[in-house]
Copies of this chain bind each other. A is one copy, B any other.
């Protein structure tokens, strides 16, 4: 990845160095998240009970990885370095995965669905505070593929066959949520520019504390909806 000079005719927003730094941070954390998602899904594919299941997980892994390159390109376009941009987020994301290593195929499926869904909702919330080009890129990077239907079907099938599993998986879902919040707070504390993004700027609206509270309510509600789609309590 080579560095490039920011386009002087680019969006006004990028003339604010704090905004530019925040966008580079945001694209960096999303990109590293996709790389990690690839790794984890490829790893979980090994636990697949059938070749069909393995191919479905491998397809999800490849789809995640396919989103990395446009993010890297954009970081370069606005004068950043893709690998330097990802570096500050490796610890938090790696810790998240370390603390939520699935013990079996089913936990892997729930994590793929619930964990990615939560991260994607969060990035979509942030996208509202971005310039239009960056917003479009972020929104397209977090689109759920057609693969999530596969996860829902598989998890529901398994619970139907053995309802006693649902208690364990409901706890697992709560653990995923808790660990995600822990690591998100860590990132928010470390990366001032990224946090400042939510607070707004001269020409951008921001969030006050009450609005941040409402955002978390929305994220929690969507998490509960996803758990319900899987047939699980949240």
Does A39 have its Cβ within 8 Å of any Cβ on chain B? Answer: yes
Enumerate A80-104 residues with CB–CB distance to B below 8 Å: 83, 86-87, 90
Query: What 4 A-B pairs are tightest by C-beta distance, nearest first?
Result: A42-B42, A62-B62, A62-B65, A58-B65
Beta-carbon contacts of A39-61 to B below 8 Å, as 1s and 0s?
Answer: 10011011000011011001101
**Cβ A35 vs Cβ B62 within 8 A:** no
Does A205 have its Cβ within 8 Å of any Cβ on chain B? Answer: no
Q: Interface range on chain A: under 10, 10 to 19, 20 to 34, or 35 or more?
A: 20 to 34
| Number of copies of chain A assembled together | 2
Residue on B nearest A31 in the bound complex, by CB: B55
Does A66 have its Cβ within 8 Å of any Cβ on chain B? Answer: yes
Residue on B nearest A66 in the bound complex, by CB: B62
Among the listed B66, B68, B90, which residue makes an inter-chain contact with A55, where contact means beta carbons less than 8 Å apart? B68
The CA-CA distance from A58 to B43 in the complex, in Å, is 12
The CA-CA distance from A175 to B157 in the complex, in Å, is 44
**Cβ B46 vs Cβ A58 within 8 A:** no
Does A38 have its Cβ within 8 Å of any Cβ on chain B? Answer: yes
A45 touching B39 in the complex, CB below 8 Å, given contacts A62-B66, A65-B62 = yes
Residue on B nearest A55 in the bound complex, by CB: B35
A42 touching B61 in the complex, CB below 8 Å, given contacts A52-B83, A54-B35, A83-B51 = yes
**Cβ A42 vs Cβ B38 within 8 A:** yes
Q: List 27 A-B contacts (CB under 8 A).
A: A35-B51, A35-B54, A35-B55, A35-B58, A38-B42, A38-B58, A38-B62, A39-B45, A39-B46, A39-B54, A39-B58, A42-B42, A42-B43, A42-B45, A42-B61, A51-B86, A51-B87, A51-B90, A52-B83, A55-B68, A58-B65, A59-B65, A61-B62, A61-B65, A62-B62, A62-B65, A62-B66
Interface residues of A (CB under 8 A from B): 35, 38-39, 42-43, 45-46, 51-52, 54-55, 58-59, 61-62, 65-66, 68, 83, 86-87, 90
Output the least CB separation between A86 and chain B (Å).
7
A38: chain B residues at CB < 8 Å are: 42, 58, 62
The CA-CA distance from A94 to B59 in the complex, in Å, is 20
